[in-house]
């Protein structure tokens, strides 16, 4: 059922043709083959690429990688790094770091996790000719410019700033001090790789080998990825569940119904129609949760399309969005309007950076829009297979149309995978849904990958040398406070240019089947597979 408030909001002059299909069926889980322990099923989306840590920057793939791999550090609920594979990470000057690994960690093929496993993996991801989407994460390591120059071919194959000392020790020399370097090391980009990857990358893609609590079992495109508990995992506490099926759905409402009926074990984002009047709390009594996290919903402009080249136009569209109405009618008041591009919970965030430009200001929006000379309907584009995206994008479209007096058409893309393909090919010629989870809790992680020139997740085509310079200066600041100030200044530049519209900070409303106990979310909004248990 859909709340009358949502139905009334979405019924206003929208052009949409939603093509939805459900994928589901079967039980929530089965008895696994890891010593007979039960398996669980978790909502997921089709990964964009092969399951490679250095080439995965979207949530569907990252969620699976976090089950297959363990990094040097992990993040607690406050976003603070805690050692995982690392025994110690030390520096006398915040520029030259020594990393010592714990004993006993192995990959799923039985080979040991060594210092070389990290150094070789980082060099591979950084090397320009390997075309890995996470290469910029290594840009502050000495020698990166030689392996990944802005122009031309690499003049070196490895970064001079990485040196193996012994099997369990390696050193990292940065181009400048970085007091928050440790905070970045839990990202998937920094995961280790076994020798088998470098021997035969194609074979590895078909059967990835990590060092995490679960080993890869199978992948059926557009259906699922299954993983099985790795009995020799080096973590402090063994995981309880025997395996996980990451199950892909074409419609998140179908996933929700499967959770209600016990045919799916976990859904991390309740569809909007079940948030209204807290319906999900009735359907999932005693098996639901609500947890804020460091994420933000945005709408990105295709600046590569000249129609959206004018920042004044982009600002006008931002001011035409009634964020509070979306929050009240779609999210049932469970989230907060965005006041900038840095989500709540990220250290160094400055409140209310955006001011009027992120506030519903219909008169100024209309005046500025008319002055831009934009003609034709406005289009908003989103995949419609996950969570609440369809509802809030449609509501934004209504607000824009009513405020600016022009048609706004919602264009659905059936699956996230198709949406990513179109985005990568720059075939999205309307304003498209976007968002970011600061799974690495730094301001830089929000700004650099999405908005610096040529970055892997810069999907708008935005470029501003001053913004790039401020982000880079923050990365080499002597103290965290200096870095925060520079990144806050970079955010102010970004707000004036408005390559995207910040809509709301995110909060996870999630639900689980009667089988699950000890359900917790990680800092990055994933089910904590290390703590969850099953009651059969």
Pair 133, 169 in one domain: yes
Asked if residue 213 is part of any domain, the answer here is yes
Q: Across the chain, what does the average pLDDT equal?
A: 92
Q: Which strand (E) or helix (H) includes residue 295?
A: strand 288-300
Q: Which of 147, 180, 200 is the last residue of a domain?
A: 200
Strand partners, 357: none
Pair 426, 520 in one domain: no
**pLDDT-above-70 percentage for the chain:** 93
Asked if residue 60 is part of any domain, the answer here is no
The single-letter DSSP state of residue 180 is: T
Distance, in Å, from the CA atom of 523 to the CA atom of 183, rounded to the nearest integer, reads: 13
**262, two tokens:** 């016990």
Asked if residue 32 is part of any domain, the answer here is no
pLDDT in the model for residue 15: 33
Pair 309, 406 in one domain: yes
Task: Provide the domain count of the chain.
Answer: 3
pLDDT tens per residue across span 289-319: 999 889 999 999 999 999 999 999 999 999 9
The CATH code of the domain that includes 223 is 3.40.190.10
Asked if residue 24 is part of any domain, the answer here is no
pLDDT in the model for residue 19: 29
Q: Which of 170, 200, 230 is the last residue of a domain?
A: 200
Pair 304, 415 in one domain: yes
Pair 172, 216 in one domain: no
Pair 355, 411 in one domain: yes
- The end-to-end CA distance of the chain, in Å, is 30
Pair 133, 85 in one domain: yes
Distance, in Å, from the CA atom of 151 to the CA atom of 458, rounded to the nearest integer, reads: 18
Rg (CA), the chain: 23
Asked if residue 45 is part of any domain, the answer here is yes
Asked if residue 331 is part of any domain, the answer here is yes
465-475 and 443-451 helices cross at what angle (nearest 10)?
150
Strand partners, 267: 511
pLDDT in the model for residue 29: 60
- The dihedrals phi and psi of 506, each to the nearest 5 degrees, come to -100, 150
pTM attached to this predicted model: 0.86
* Helices then strands, each counted (H, E), the chain: 17, 19
Strand partners, 96: 173
Q: Which domain holds residue 350?
A: 4-19+294-507
Pair 159, 284 in one domain: no
pLDDT in the model for residue 77: 87
The single-letter DSSP state of residue 319 is: H
- The dihedrals phi and psi of 306, each to the nearest 5 degrees, come to -60, -20
Strand partners, 44: 248
Pair 355, 365 in one domain: yes
CA atoms within 13 A on the CB side of 391: 28
The single-letter DSSP state of residue 31 is: B
**186, two tokens:** 């839990």
Average pLDDT, 10 consecutive residues per value, the chain (536 residues): 37 32 46 74 94 94 98 93 98 97 98 99 98 94 97 98 99 94 96 98 97 98 97 95 96 94 97 92 97 94 96 98 96 94 94 97 98 94 85 96 98 92 92 92 94 93 98 91 97 98 95 97 94 92
CB 53 within 8 A of CB 65: yes
Counting Cβ atoms within 10 Å, is residue 286 exposed (0-12), middle (13-18) or buried (19+)? exposed
Distance, in Å, from the CA atom of 490 to the CA atom of 487, rounded to the nearest integer, reads: 5
Strand partners, 207: none
pLDDT in the model for residue 417: 86
Pair 227, 104 in one domain: no
The CATH code of the domain that includes 423 is 3.10.105.10
Reduced 3-state DSSP string for 377-415: CEEEEEECCCCCHHHHHHHHHHHHHHHHCCCEEEEEECC
**390, two tokens:** 């369809």
CA atoms within 13 A on the CB side of 233: 26
Asked if residue 264 is part of any domain, the answer here is yes
Distance, in Å, from the CA atom of 136 to the CA atom of 158, rounded to the nearest integer, reads: 15
pLDDT in the model for residue 250: 85
CB 275 within 8 A of CB 481: no
Q: How many residues does the chain have?
A: 536
Distance, in Å, from the CA atom of 145 to the CA atom of 473, rounded to the nearest integer, reads: 16
Asked if residue 62 is part of any domain, the answer here is no
Distance, in Å, from the CA atom of 296 to the CA atom of 314, rounded to the nearest integer, reads: 18
pLDDT in the model for residue 385: 82
pLDDT in the model for residue 30: 54
Nearest to 379 by CA among 458, 495, 300: 300
CB 183 within 8 A of CB 82: no
Give the CA-trace dihedral at 162, 163, 164, 169, to 10 degrees.
-70
Q: Which of 180, 200, 220 is the last residue of a domain?
A: 200
Pair 391, 452 in one domain: yes
CB 268 within 8 A of CB 527: yes
CB 360 within 8 A of CB 411: no
Pair 299, 256 in one domain: no
SS3 at position 144: helix
């Amino acid at each position: 059922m859909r709340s009358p408030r949502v139905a009334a909001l979405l019924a206003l002059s929208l052009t949409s043709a939603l093509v939805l299909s459900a994928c589901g069926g079967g039980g929530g889980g089965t008895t696994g083959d890891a010593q007979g322990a039960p398996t669980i099923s978790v909502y997921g989306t089709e990964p964009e690429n092969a399951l490679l840590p250095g080439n995965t920057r979207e949530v569907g793939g990252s969620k699976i990688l976090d089950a297959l791999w363990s990094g040097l550090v992990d993040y607690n609920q406050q976003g603070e790094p805690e050692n995982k594979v690392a025994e110690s990470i030390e520096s006398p000057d915040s520029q030259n770091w020594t990393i010592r690994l714990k004993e006993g960690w192995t990959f799923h093929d039985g080979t040991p996790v060594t210092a070389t496993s990290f150094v070789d993996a980082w060099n591979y991801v950084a090397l320009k000719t390997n075309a890995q989407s996470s290469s910029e994460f290594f840009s502050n390591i000495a020698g990166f410019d030689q392996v990944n120059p802005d122009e031309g071919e690499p003049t070196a194959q490895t970064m001079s700033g990485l040196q193996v000392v012994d099997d369990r020790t390696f050193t990292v020399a940065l181009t400048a001090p970085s007091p928050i370097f440790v905070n970045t090391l839990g990202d998937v980009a920094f995961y280790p790789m076994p020798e088998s990857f470098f021997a035969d990358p194609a074979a590895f893609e078909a059967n990835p080998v990590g060092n995490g609590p679960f080993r890869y079992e199978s992948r059926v495109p557009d259906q699922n990825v299954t993983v099985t508990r790795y009995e020799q995992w080096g973590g402090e506490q063994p995981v309880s569940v025997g395996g996980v099926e990451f199950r892909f759905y074409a419609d998140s409402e179908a996933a929700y119904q499967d959770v209600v009926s016990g045919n799916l074990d976990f859904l991390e984002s309740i569809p909007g129609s079940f948030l209204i009047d807290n319906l999900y709390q009735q359907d999932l009594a005693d098996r639901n949760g609500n947890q804020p996290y460091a994420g933000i919903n945005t709408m990105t402009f295709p600046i590569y399309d000249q129609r959206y080249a004018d920042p004044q136009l982009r600002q006008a569209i931002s001011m035409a969005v009634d964020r509070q109405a979306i929050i009240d009618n779609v999210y049932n008041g469970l989230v907060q309007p965005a006041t900038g591009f840095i989500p709540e919970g990220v250290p160094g965030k400055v409140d209310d950076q955006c001011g009027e430009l992120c506030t519903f200001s219909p008169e100024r929006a209309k005046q500025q829009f008319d002055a831009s000379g934009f003609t034709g309907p406005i289009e908003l584009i989103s995949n419609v297979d996950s969570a609440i995206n369809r509802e809030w994008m449609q509501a934004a479209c209504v607000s824009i149309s009513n405020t600016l007096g022009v048609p706004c058409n919602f264009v659905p893309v059936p699956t996230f995978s198709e949406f990513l393909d179109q985005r990568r090919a720059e075939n999205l010629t309307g304003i498209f849904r976007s968002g970011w989870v600061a799974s690495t809790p730094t301001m830089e992680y929000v700004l650099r990958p999405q908005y610096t020139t040529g970055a892997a997740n810069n999907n708008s085509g935005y470029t501003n040398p001053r913004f790039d310079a401020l982000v880079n200066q923050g990365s080499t600041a002597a103290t965290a406070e200096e870095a925060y100030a520079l990144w806050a200044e970079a955010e102010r530049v970004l707000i004036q240019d408005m390559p995207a519209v910040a809509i709301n900070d995110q909060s996870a409303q999630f639900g689980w089947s009667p089988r699950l106990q000890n359900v917790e979310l990680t800092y990055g909004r994933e089910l904590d597979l290390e703590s969850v248990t099953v009651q059969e």
